[in-house]
Structure 1
């Protein structure tokens, strides 16, 4: 979720509000120095390498990294002649990114007429995430978007009893589920497979990708589509939910200590698309 995406405090769908005497502007942009070395690779060539990246948080968008021009390979940028207008930040010049025998149009941009209050973005280049081969922090590949310091996941054990039902059928019953708290989202309850009647789970084709948890597989249960999901190879940071199953309370009946779990703000998630050229093996190898 983070600062400006999904239900974050600067997003249009924020579930909280600022305690101020006067209403804040509908759109607030937030920029700050990343304080991490970030690199960009295109056609097996490092075209940007900087320890002075600015990350822009804009409502309804993932964080975007802006590199100072002096840390970008100028030969990789070919002006396209295309100018668009950003509603808050003014004129935007687009570039074709070129390296070796490969070029991709509209793969980078720069603001050319910034208002005074946004001057720190002057002379900085951003790269379209899926147009590049990869982004790195130090020697580790970063998936999905630039690092969001305001995204947090906490996983807790619980001694509450969780039960999942479809009509009169008990699909799962566990006395030791875990609960995952993720910034801005409703709590997610995960159940060990030993506590699930797995013949009730019908795998479906297609996966989604979470930059923080990995590739997600889904199940239908009876007539309820995408009623459950699992991260079969969850990233190490969230290894406690690896291969456990969570259930969608707006599609099946989920009971916690006998009380039905009702959908709440932050229940619906906008799935993140997989990075361009990124396959399941690369996601798992992260």
Structure 2
């Protein structure tokens, strides 16, 4: 019969817990990959050049979103070597202090910024000028695979649904919750928005965002020419806010036709509160540090 001390949870070495975000931050510095059972297809030059059920999701070190890696034999195009870009030395990227002590690479950082050894290649549709960048990572787990530059292809599909911006992270998600907290956005004493009807959007590894009914936005908003894409939420329209004789460029955004995951914030407005004073129930919040600060 075993004694209580025989149980693994009784050992001192197992008694210290870990914060999940700290674990994820440590993993950011490693090359990570995960097989996906989804059928992945991509078009280039109007032709389907990728069709596979053997794709991998790959995160190069410091990358916060994955790319697709595809077996050579599932690429219906010519693959050839191309010149090698310089290896990244840690000077490029954005800070997410709550996740990592080193700069992270978000989707705005070009594909050819390399953080792991390997071999750059080019994918070309035979007889055309349609090309895309690729990369063979020097890792046994990815032997025979090419990581493909998502933005170089015309379209991507998981099964029969189109994917925009970048592949979805199976370990990331968004949740939306209604809240009756008193939310105010203020700058230099000027109130931009004031509501008790916000919807909070929680996204893995990012600060919570407060989406507000347009009726509760006090500052005049002017549409901007800026547009952005989110793989989970869709295409966003950006706005500048007018405070007296001051204009805050691209300070707010709205999803007019969101993807299904973000349907609950359709037509609501969110602000870059990294650049504003966010007051919740009368208490000013510490400004978050993000790639948009």
Shared topology, TM-score over 0.5?
yes
Corresponding position of 1:157: 178
Q: Does 1:98 align with 2:125?
A: yes
What residue in structure 2 maps to residue 196 of structure 1?
Answer: 217
After superposition, the Cα gap between the structure-2 partners of 1:58 and 1:79, relative to the gap in structure 1 and judged at 3 Å, is closer
TM-score when normalising by structure 2: 0.73
**What value does the CA root-mean-square deviation take over the aligned residues?**
2.9
Partners of 1:78 and 1:98 within 8 A in 2: no
Secondary structure at the aligned position of 1:52 is classed as coil
User: Structure 2 CA distance, aligned partners of 1:66 and 1:43?
Assistant: 19
Change (3 A) 1:66 1:260: same
Q: Relative to structure 1, is the Cα distance of residues 26 and 37 closer, same or farther in structure 2, using a 3 angstrom cutoff?
A: closer
How far does the alpha carbon of each residue in 1:228-270 deviate from its partner, in whole angstroms, 9 at most, with x for none?
A: 22222222211111111122334333321111122124x4449
2:195 is the alignment partner of 1:206: no
Q: Which runs of 5+ in 1 are unaligned?
A: 1-14, 271-286
Q: Name 2:249's counterpart in structure 1.
A: 225
- Evaluate the alpha carbon distance shift between residue 54 and residue 168 of structure 1 in structure 2; reply closer, same or farther with a 3 A threshold: closer
**Contact 2:211-2:265 at 8 Å conserved across structures:** yes
What is the rounded CA distance, in whole Å, between the counterparts of 1:81 and 1:27 in structure 2? 26
Shift in Å, 1:205: 2.6
Say whether 1:134 aligns with 2:155: yes
Alignment-derived partner of residue 10 in structure 1: none
Which residue number in structure 1 is paired with residue 135 of structure 2? 109
Count of aligned pairs: 244
* 2:168–2:231 CA contact under 8 A, matched in 1: no
Structure 1, residues 12-38: CA drift from partner, whole Å, max 9, x if none? xxx94239xxx9688211111012110
Shift of 1:85: 7.8
TM-score using structure 1 length: 0.74
Distance 1:125 1:268 in 2: 28
The question of whether the paired residues in 1 share the 8 Å contact of 2:274 and 2:288 is answered with: no
1:17 and 2:18 matched: no
